[in-house]
Amino acid sequence: MPSTTTLGVCYLIVAVAAAVLWHSAESYHVDKYSLLMPNVRPKKMDLYLCTPIRIDPNKSYFIVTFEPKAYGHTSHHMLLYGCSEPGSSEPVWNCGEMDSSSNDQNSYMHSNPCKSGSNILYAWALDAPTLKLPNGVGFKVGLGTQIKYLVLQVHYHRMFKEGETDNSGIFLHYTEKQLEKQAGVYLLATDGIIPPNSFENLETSCPLLETGKVIHPFAYRVHTHELGKVVAGYRVKTSSNGVQKWDLLGKRDPLTPQMFYPIEKNLTVKNGDLLAARCTMESRRDTITRIGPTSNDEMCNFYVMYWVEGTEPLEQQLCVSEGSPRYYWENDPLLNNIPDEEASIL
């Protein structure tokens, strides 16, 4: 393991693990780095913890595979952030909601995952398997990018017993070969509420407004908590006569493994096109359920993983609607020809 440290974290350098060589049409040398929690012990439910690594600032790397080391009975989900600056100089910190009621003198300090330049590179939940990017595609980090640190966030949904610790995380497979196709992630999400004993649709739509950029979506991931029934995402393109065509990117039951699944259609998203997503929820609870960070709350997320060629990934990486009851597709003047029934059935 590397011995050089800065801000209590390690440089990501080449001599970190056994090399792996992938044989493909365009083979390149691949190394592996272990980004793991340093044997933490969550002392409360729904605790979000972050740990960082600093990337060697003199080199650029392309991450080509994400191999999770986590289990659903321990970790609710994990996110990997690329940051210009990490949220803290500590080796581990609380990066979830502020809990002012905690008086535990051994509790972790609180901060966001990133202090500046936040990018989501990868997400995992429900025992999802390894994600390997298409040949020639990678997430560029380090020299020539704003991503100077990687920050692992793990959401722990239970308290650990005395003496019990965890080192969940991600094995990052990367290459120093300069790849022409850079990967990125765009997240569609909603705010909102779900009324008691009801079906409800949480919806969002987001225009792509970056001139000259064309993205090629190749994978999608859905995420809700236990009330999710169906999550669907679309590319929406407006014809010359104003009628919109909704092309399905992906649709799944969110309670199946929450991995990135391949997008079967070979399509692009260009300036002026829209991305849209719907989460169909069913609540049998007697109280309102709100969008929020805990396992008793809900979430509505649709991730689009894409590549671009000869340019940088999108500057905008997140689009959030107000959700129900304030936002619905049917009330959006920019939308028409909505696939209302199709979006809520598998």
- Is 77 annotated in some ligand binding site? yes
* Residue 216 marked as a ligand binder: no
Q: Is 73 a catalytic residue?
A: no
Q: Is 73 annotated as a binding residue?
A: no
Q: In the annotation, is 78 catalytic?
A: no
**Count of positions (residues) in the chain:** 346
**Whether residue 110 lies in the annotated active site:** no
Q: Catalytic site residue 299?
A: yes
Is 225 annotated as belonging to a binding site? yes
Sign of the alpha-carbon torsion through 336, 339, 341, 343: negative
Choose, from 78, 155, 173, 182, the residue flagged as catalytic: 155
Report whether 173 belongs to an annotated binding site.
no
Q: Residue 211, class by beta-carbon neighbours within 10 Å (0-12 exposed, 13-18 middle, 19+ buried)? A: exposed
Q: Which of 306, 253, 252, 246 is nearest to 276 (CA)?
A: 246
Taking Cα atoms as reference points, which of 247, 231, 220 lies closest to residue 304?
220
The residue from 153, 182, 244, 258 that is catalytic is 153
The answer to whether the CB of 311 falls within 8 A of the CB of 181 is: no
- The structure tokens listed for 221 are 């991931």
Residue type, 35: L
Residue 216 annotated in active site: no
**In contact, 61 and 139? CB cutoff 8 Å:** no
Distance CA 242, CA 274 (A): 14
Q: Is 155 a known active-site residue? A: yes
Is 225 an active-site residue?
A: yes
For residue 344, what is the DSSP state?
A: G
Residues making up the binding site for Cu(2+): 76-77, 155, 223, 225, 299
Residues making up the binding site: 76-77, 155, 223, 225, 299
- Give catalytic residue positions: 76-77, 153, 155, 223, 225, 299
